[in-house]
């Protein structure tokens, strides 16, 4: 089965490719020749995931899934949330986003946070949603070189390392994205196109 992953992020493609069963061939937006940014104008993670999946399905007429992820920090009333990728500005700069987050949490004792991923799958003329969450805290400085986004400042509950310090195999098992995608994969094992 060929399935489009509606992302321009090669890190996401790399992560997900390791999770997919052999019978699913993943196609990225790059593979389709789609270079344009797909607008994320909804006010929820689910809405943004659906917008991206719908764009690809309508434009390229293929089964597609898209995800949207947010980092929700309790003491910041859920910020950065749906604005996580552009928290420090429209250029989507991970270091600037982390710097702004650390600055906004300076002198804060309450640093609990969680990542949430929502996947919208367009297949067989319907949309199915899958979600995953991982809870943890924001540490006071960046640690680690693996991963992407906020991984160097997010330490999941039960671990003494950040996502950027953990091996990808462990991160995939416990992460928000890994949990959501495991639900997607379980669904794809029983669906035919």
Q: Packing angle between helix 176-188 and helix 10-17, nearest 10 degrees?
A: 60
Q: Which residues contact 193 (CB under 8 A, 6 or more apart)?
A: 1, 63, 123, 124
Q: Is 160 a catalytic residue?
A: no
Catalytic residue among 68, 74, 99, 151: 68
Q: What is the 3-state secondary structure (H, E, C) of 77-95?
A: CCCEECCHHHCCCCCCCHH
Instruction: Enumerate the β-bridge partners of residue 123.
Output: 126
* Cβ count near 102 (within 10 Å): 16
Active site residues: 68
């Amino acid at each position: 089965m060929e399935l489009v992953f509606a992302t321009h992020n090669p890190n996401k493609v790399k992560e997900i490719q390791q999770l997919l069963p052999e019978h699913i061939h993943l196609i990225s937006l790059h593979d389709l020749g789609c270079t344009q940014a797909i607008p994320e104008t909804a006010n929820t993670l689910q809405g943004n995931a659906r917008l991206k999946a719908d764009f690809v399905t309508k434009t390229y007429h293929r089964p597609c899934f898209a995800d949207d992820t947010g980092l929700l920090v309790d003491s910041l009333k859920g910020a950065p949330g749906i604005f996580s990728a552009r928290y420090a500005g429209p250029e989507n700069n991970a270091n600037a986003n982390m710097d702004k987050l650390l600055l906004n949490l300076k002198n804060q004792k309450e640093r609990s946070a969680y990542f949430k991923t929502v996947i919208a799958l367009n297949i067989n003329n319907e949309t199915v949603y899958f979600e995953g969450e991982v809870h943890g805290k924001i540490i006071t400085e960046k640690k680690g070189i693996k991963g992407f986004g906020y991984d160097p400042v997010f330490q999941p509950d039960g671990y003494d390392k950040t996502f950027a310090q953990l091996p990808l195999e462990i991160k995939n098992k416990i992460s928000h994205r890994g949990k959501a995608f495991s639900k997607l994969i379980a669904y794809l094992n029983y669906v035919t196109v």
